[in-house]
Amino acid sequence: MSNLLIIPAIDIKDGKTVRVVQGIPELNCKAYGNDPVEMAMIWRTENAKFLHVVDFDHSHLHSKKNYKIVKEICESVVIPVEFGGGIRSYDEAATAMDLGVTRLVIGSLAYTKPSEFEKVIKEFGSSRLSAAIDIIANKVVIKGRREIINISPLEFAKRLENAGITRVIVTDVSKNGMLEGANIELSKMIAENTNLKVTHSGGITKSAELFELDALTSIGIDSAIIGRALYENKFSCQKIWRIAESGIFD
């Protein structure tokens, strides 16, 4: 993989690492451990250059009970951490940035409170922000993926670009955690029709999909977030990593 940045996902609910299937977090992932901080350190030892952290409690319940863990993750690894989950105002964005994150993911705020969104961009700069475009059945969803809005993915992407955003995370929620393949065409469509940098998310299961995405870096798809497939060792090289690093965190 010459150009594509692979970003492991750490999804947190009730203080534990969870896996996410079609936007719904599942608890007690014994196959790869429950401690988000330990998981961050494992990904770092496996040469991750960037981490994507999502707080499902803040996204769905507006609870900050996991913020201490997010801060600890940022302090425990020397690589950048991207963080998202239910940021609903400028003040909440500022609080999340204080946790030590490198980049903040904004979703619903861009649609529900555009003036607050613009304030966030002005204060922190586009390089420290990613805008989430979550899609179900080719329709954009917001508010923890619970509300459909009447705007196409491309139209939303162009609106974000016009607001000053330079990067989007494109997720086909129906593919998320299903291990059935990625909707690469969706990310490609947005990359080809905007000047945005695109992070692909959702459905990546095999190395062939990574090579396909890597071939699209020239049009702006420069990174991919991978969750369940990494945790469940769907890539052959992971077996070598596991053997080499067994016992490090015992």
Q: Is the pLDDT of residue 242 over 80?
A: no
Please count the residues of the chain. Answer: 250
Give per-residue pLDDT as tens, 29-83.
Answer: 444 568 999 999 999 988 899 999 999 898 888 899 999 999 999 999 999 999 9
User: 98 an active-site residue?
Assistant: no
pTM of the model: 0.89
Q: Exactly one of 11, 172, 214, 222 is catalytic; which is it? A: 11
Active site residue 134: yes
Query: Domain coordinates of the chain in residue numbers?
Result: 5-245
Contact present, 164 and 118 (Cβ < 8 Å): yes
Residue 103 backbone dihedrals phi, psi, to 5 degrees: -140, 140
Place of tokens 């593919």: 175
Class of domain 5-245: alpha beta
Round to the nearest angstrom and report the end-to-end CA distance of the chain.
Answer: 31
Q: Are 82 and 52 in contact (CB under 8 A)?
A: yes
Catalytic hit among 57, 134, 172, 214: 134
Q: Which residue has the higher pLDDT, 73 or 143?
A: 73
The phi, psi pair for 173, rounded to 5°, reads -60, -35
